[in-house]
Chain A
């Protein structure tokens, strides 16, 4: 680069990135100090780069993609002695399997099978009794199934006055459906699911991109405090109080999930939905 020549876009671009060699960077810096034209170009380049860095779109992967990937991984063995595939990526048998996993029923079935076999996926870090594990399996499976397109809710509404009456006649109990939008957990809707051979209420809340299933059904067992576990990247929380069995499942982090639990428990002990 010659100092007397104007700087090219390319050298200014690389200069902004700090990617020029020290010698080239020095020569650009010297030129900018004496050439108003290039100094103006440099300023424009700085503005452009800063605009692109702040404005180019960053996407958040949907929960359903995360679930699909976890489902596919749970049923796919690794190839221990093979080198990194990055140099030669050819269409392969992997494509066929990924396409079959792309069909919701196929990967959901595979995931359930994987869970049943316990293939590399420890379903509960804190092992309870056998019955509890089975329920946890079913709750987790229900959550994952609900992430498939069109499986999340039977009644879709952010208004508890739509969701709560919808359960009437579909269940032999009336689940609480507190309104927690102001606390950062907008209501998404509800659906009836089957856990342990009985119909249960699943009330769905969201937080940012995360979906949270709150399962409840009546129980005559004695009360139990809150226990937390993780399975396949999901947090599962369980407690039993006031004759109601509760499970909360989400890939939301445990701290925020506990915030929701506190709100739910407060709503239960108040004996009426919050905000009503």
Chain B
């Protein structure tokens, strides 16, 4: 068999333990438990297929890049048959239907105010907030994962924090 045992062992030891990080990013980006699971599975399969070519470095940043990219391609390729009501992100710019998302978030009284406020943000804000506040990555690492300049990471993070702060103040 072509699958070397040591490669699988290395994958088990270095990549599989990052599953919670991968799943957390996918949950926040997809905002749906089942989509997040499908995306993470695809990301892991992709990571595994290319693991032998991984040149070393930070496995977590590498894996999160794959997860993040899978979230984006997943949204695009499943938009036609998706029943998820987040069509704002599928059919228009990230910013445009923010207020509809706000309204949904406020309706969602089951969840915490912060979780709802985060869900209501456009995806490019959610990803920098998750990568910084939860994963503790540097601006440079986030820039690498999101494929944006460091300056963009800096401004999105500042604006994302500001928006969450305002949203929490409103609900308080």
Query: Residues of A at under 8 Å CB distance from B?
Result: 8-10, 12-14, 17, 19, 44-45, 48-49, 51-53, 55-62, 65-66, 68-70, 72-73, 76-86, 89-91, 94-95, 97-99, 101-102, 117-122, 233
A122 to B158, CA, bound (A): 49
In residues 30-52 of chain B, which contact A (Cβ within 8 Å)?
Answer: 36-38, 40-42, 44-46, 48-52
Q: Which residues of A lie under 8 Å from residue B168 when comparing CB positions? A: 51
Q: Which residues of A lie under 8 Å from residue B157 when comparing CB positions? A: 13-14, 17
A101 to B44, CA, bound (A): 12
A120 touches B54 (CB 8 A): no
- The answer to whether A98 and B42 touch (CB under 8 A), given A19-B154, A86-B65, is yes
**From DSSP, what is the main secondary structure of chain B's interface residues?**
helix
Q: Which of B20, B44, B139 contacts A72 (CB 8 A)?
A: B44
Q: Which of B7, B40, B46, B154 contacts A85 (CB 8 A)?
A: B46
B11 touches A59 (CB 8 A): no
Q: Digitize B119-134: 1 where CB-to-A-CB distance is under 8 Å, 0 elsewhere.
A: 0000000000110111
In residues 100-150 of chain B, which contact A (Cβ within 8 Å)?
Answer: 112, 114-115, 118, 129-130, 132-134, 138-139
- The answer to whether A72 and B41 touch (CB under 8 A), given A60-B23, A85-B66, is yes
A102 to B40, CA, bound (A): 11
Q: Which of B62, B129, B139 contacts A86 (CB 8 A)?
A: B62
B126 CB, nearest partner CB in chain A, Å: 10
**B162 lies within 8 A of chain A by Cβ:** yes
A84 CB, nearest partner CB in chain B, Å: 6
- The answer to whether A65 and B53 touch (CB under 8 A), given A45-B161, A77-B3, A94-B42, is no
**B4 lies within 8 A of chain A by Cβ:** yes
7 A–B contacts, CB within 8 A, in A order: A10-B159, A60-B20, A69-B45, A76-B48, A78-B49, A97-B45, A120-B4
- Nearest CB to that of A122 among chain B residues? B5
Q: Which of A13, A66, A89, A102 contacts B19 (CB 8 A)?
A: A66
A90 to B36, CA, bound (A): 18
Q: Which residues of B lie under 8 Å from residue A82 when comparing CB positions? A: 49-50, 52-53
Give the number of residue pairs across the A-B interface with Cβ within 8 Å. 175
- The answer to whether A95 and B77 touch (CB under 8 A), given A56-B118, A57-B115, A73-B11, is yes
B37 touches A65 (CB 8 A): yes
B38 touches A44 (CB 8 A): no
A56 to B165, CA, bound (A): 13
B67 CB, nearest partner CB in chain A, Å: 10
A80 to B53, CA, bound (A): 6
* 8 cross-chain pairs, A with B, having the tightest CB-CB distances, nearest first: A120-B3, A13-B158, A89-B69, A61-B23, A10-B158, A80-B52, A86-B65, A52-B133
B37 touches A233 (CB 8 A): no
Instruction: Tell which of B19, B45, B118, B138 has the most Cβ of chain A within 10 Å.
Output: B45
- The answer to whether A59 and B41 touch (CB under 8 A), given A10-B155, A52-B133, is no
Give 14 new A-B contacts, CB below 8 A, not counting A9-B159, A58-B20: A13-B154, A51-B114, A53-B134, A57-B24, A59-B27, A69-B45, A73-B45, A76-B48, A79-B49, A79-B50, A81-B52, A82-B52, A83-B53, A94-B45
